[in-house]
Amino acid sequence: MRMQQGNMVIAQSGGPSMVINQSLVGAVLTAMDSPAIGRIYGARHGIKGILAERFLDLRRERRATLEAVALTPSSALGSARHKPSPADCAAIFQVLHRLQVRYFFYIGGNDSAETVHIINEEARRACYGIACFHIPKTIDNDLRENDHTPGFGSAARFVASAFIGDDLDNRALGGVKINIVMGRNAGFLTAAAALARTAPDDGPHLIYLPERPFDLDRFTADVQRVVQQRGRCVVAVSEGIADAAGTPIAAKFIQETDAHGNKQLSGSGALGDMLAGVLRERAHITRVRADTFGYLQRSFPGVVSVTDAREARGVGVAAVQVAVRGAVASGSIAIRRKPGPRYAVSYEVVPLRRVAKETRHMPPSFINRAGNDVTEAFLAYARPLVGPLPPVGRFRQLA
């Protein structure tokens, strides 16, 4: 296969992140400089924008505007959670064919990769020659084939920063503080709370991940033990914690399900309130507070990992470079960590089906034996992704 001339469509899908616009702008600026690519259409709200023919002509945007958008959180083109049917695909190809589109780029997580995979398969079936590429994004860090994913480092930076402040707050007034962290299937983002610790008695003192069955009795006993030892306790809990049967604890309070079959776990404080209630009743702890970090984790402006922003840009650039080179007609860009003492990554192309749909979890080596904390191996993995955190000043007499 050789380089084909044509127009391109790019869109964003799934939950936004702090750096998803870096990927968009990386791809667009690379496309602008590529002789293979003519018009650059930005579809509004994912594939829904293709179906509704709602496009931006991204060549008309100034470079300064693009660079400002790159630094702005959330998905500048709008997002969607829409799984295309065969009929959708046929309608999409009609639109794309009329617009002479030969390149399709979709920025998102595993569900977005599934969407690209479906479109790519349907395009082959329809004999429509289009290069289909998935550009990775997810704060959950749960894409297969990737060492880590764009969006995770910045969200992890927010979570770790939040725990630094919240642990200092808990020191001041005591009691138990539960913080619910995003991550439907994978505990990486919750685990990042551990990066907040710089002194021996810093919180979080307990960390509960979806990778280990959650048991209310063990949770209560754990918290009681920490309170007895330290007079206080800060707990990081993933929104995705599930019982031994695999049923999410939060599922009892949940009403909505999206097109990909995912239950909505975020945007509610119910899980934290339930856990706080259990501690008040069973453990007779009087001051118990629960916060659910919610959408701030993926949208709070200014709390960005420099590494994450650079790599988010990098995967966007790589996707367009790979597509116009034409050696492969479809794929997903994956971030691989190079071996060696110094942190470095490479971007590689992997088949769409290896990234689509299924997610990856925290490896066992990242979780402690008791299932209530992370290991040093996780901290070593996560530190370069998050970067240096805000310093904490402490009186020497209290150190």
Q: Which residues inside 360-399 make contact with its own copies, applying CB under 8 A?
A: 390-398
Q: Determine the interface stretch with its own copies among 68-76, 127-135, 318-326, 356-364 (rule: CB under 8 A).
A: 68-76
Q: Does 256 bind its own copies (CB under 8 A)?
A: yes
Residue choice 9, 81, 134, 223 for contact with its own copies (CB under 8 A)? 81
Q: Does 255 bind its own copies (CB under 8 A)?
A: yes
Q: Does 57 bind its own copies (CB under 8 A)?
A: yes
Q: Does 267 bind its own copies (CB under 8 A)?
A: yes
Phi/psi of residue 222, each to 5°? -60, -50
Q: Does 232 bind its own copies (CB under 8 A)?
A: no
Q: 3-state class of 377 per DSSP?
A: helix
Q: Which of 116, 235, 109, 106 is nearest to 183 (CA)?
A: 109
The residues, any chain, with a CB within 8 Å of residue 295's CB and separated by 6 or more, are: 266, 267
Cβ pair 346, 338 in contact under 8 A? yes
Q: What is the token pair recorded at 352?
A: 């769409």
Q: Does 342 bind its own copies (CB under 8 A)?
A: no
Q: Which residues inside 147-166 make contact with its own copies, applying CB under 8 A?
A: 161-162, 164-166
Q: Does 309 bind its own copies (CB under 8 A)?
A: no
Residue 45 or 148: the one with the smaller Cβ distance to its own copies is 45
Instruction: Report d(CA 276, CA 269) in Å as an integer.
Output: 11
Q: Which is the catalytic residue, given 111, 140, 222, 308? A: 140
Residue choice 272, 314, 331, 387 for contact with its own copies (CB under 8 A)? 272
Compute how many residues bind its own copies; rule: CB under 8 A. 76
Q: Does 296 bind its own copies (CB under 8 A)?
A: yes
Q: Which residues inside 6-45 make contact with its own copies, applying CB under 8 A?
A: 12, 15-16, 21, 42, 45
Q: Does 301 bind its own copies (CB under 8 A)?
A: yes
> Is 202 one of the catalytic residues?
no
Least distance CB 286 / its own copies (angstroms): 7
Q: Does 326 bind its own copies (CB under 8 A)?
A: no
Residue ranges with strand state E in the chain? 6-12, 37-43, 55-57, 101-108, 131-136, 175-181, 206-208, 232-238, 288-292, 330-337, 345-350
The one-letter amino acid code at 378 reads F
Q: Does 316 bind its own copies (CB under 8 A)?
A: no
Residues 223-237 as b or e (16 or more Cβ within 10 Å = b): bbebbeeeebbbbbb
Q: Which residues inside 91-110 make contact with its own copies, applying CB under 8 A?
A: none
Least distance CB 52 / its own copies (angstroms): 13
Q: Which of 210, 241, 231, 222 is nearest to 279 (CA)?
A: 222
Cβ pair 385, 305 in contact under 8 A? yes
Q: Which of 268, 323, 307 is nearest to 104 (CA)?
A: 323
Residue 169 or 243: the one with the smaller Cβ distance to its own copies is 169
Q: Does 254 bind its own copies (CB under 8 A)?
A: no
Least distance CB 376 / its own copies (angstroms): 24
Residue choice 173, 251, 370, 377 for contact with its own copies (CB under 8 A)? 173
The residues, any chain, with a CB within 8 Å of residue 317's CB and separated by 6 or more, are: 26, 27, 29, 30
Which residues are registered as beta bridge partners of 55? 43
Which residues are tagged catalytic?
A: 140
